[in-house]
Amino acid sequence: MIFENAHKYSISAMCKALKIARSTLYHKPKPQRIDTALENAVIEEFRSSRNNYGTRKLKVMLNRRKFRVSRRRIGKIMTKYGLVSNYTLRQTKKKHSPAVNNDETANIVQREFNGRSRYEVVVSDLTYVKIAGQWRYICLLLDQGKSIYFGK
């Protein structure tokens, strides 16, 4: 409409009246460039890696085949054909356990350790130590100041 009325009114005045930028009139989108050789190379390298490679590794492999292409373009080709790396899938399935244990525990002892029978109140700790190239565990039990050791 603006180009049809360009002989009557100025283009900039019509653009101001319609509240559009003048540059939109002259913008022509570039036709999509489809490079089937590149797309086939991306698919082939991805499949030969057993679906493991992402855009970084694919770029390196394509450079060896004399394809100069950006990671962004490789990513667009991968999205177009639904190619998703195994490592991406593996990362999305990570389960996170809650960071804090908020279980309420009753305080039965009330800090009164004297006058109790043996092994009524015991504190323990378990740790692993590497000795001569093998992992061994040490379990320490404390009962009213006396220590008892269990280990393997």
Distances (CA, A) of 21 to 7, 14, 118: 19, 10, 88
User: Tell me: the pLDDT tens digits for 2-19?
Assistant: 888 889 989 899 999 999
The pTM score is 0.45
Strands 146-151, 134-143: pairing kind: antiparallel
What tens digit of pLDDT does each residue of 56-91 get? 999 999 999 999 999 999 999 999 999 999 887 666
**Look-up of token digits 């009325």:** 5
**Distance between CA 101 and CA 84 in Å, rounded?**
36
pLDDT digits (tens, 9 = 90+) for 91-149: 656 677 767 767 788 888 887 777 777 778 887 888 888 889 898 988 887 776 555 55
Question: Residue 123 in contact with residue 140, Cβ under 8 Å?
Answer: no
> In sequence order, which residues have a C-beta less than 8 Å from that of residue 21 and are 6 or more positions away?
15
